Amino acid sequence: MAECGASGSGSSGDSLDKSITLPPDEIFRNLENAKRFAIDIGGSLTKLAYYSTVQHKVAKVRSFDHSGKDTEQDHEPPYEISVQEEVTARLHFVKFENTYIEACLDFIKDHLVNTETKVIQATGGGAYKFKDLIEEKLQLK
Q: Are 53 and 88 in contact (CB under 8 A)?
A: yes
Between 9 and 119, the higher pLDDT residue: 119
Structure confidence at residue 9 (pLDDT): 43
For the entire predicted model, the pTM comes to 0.55
All domains in the chain, ordered by first residue:
14-53+89-138 (3.30.420.40)
Angle CA(21)–CA(26)–CA(30) in degrees, nearest 5?
Answer: 125
Structure confidence at residue 11 (pLDDT): 45
Q: Whole-angstrom Cα distance, residue 73 to residue 22?
A: 64
Structure confidence at residue 5 (pLDDT): 35
Query: pLDDT tier at 24 (50, 70, 90 boundaries)?
Result: low
Closest to 56 in 3D by CA, of 86, 32, 29, 92: 86
Residue 38: strand pairing partners: 49, 121
> In this predicted structure, which of 2-6, 38-42, 62-66, 123-127 has the lowest mean pLDDT?
2-6
Between 76 and 84, the higher pLDDT residue: 84
Statement: residue 51 has pLDDT above 70 = yes
Taking CA atoms, 69 is separated from 63, 74, 75, 81, in Å, by 15, 8, 11, 21
Between 62 and 27, the higher pLDDT residue: 62
Q: Count of CB atoms within 10 A of residue 50's CB?
A: 22
Torsion, Cα 93 98 102 104, to 10 degrees, reads -20
80-134: pLDDT as tens digits: 888 889 888 888 888 888 998 888 888 777 765 455 666 778 899 998 999 899 8
Q: Whole-angstrom Cα distance, residue 57 to residue 33?
A: 17
Residue 55: strand pairing partners: 87
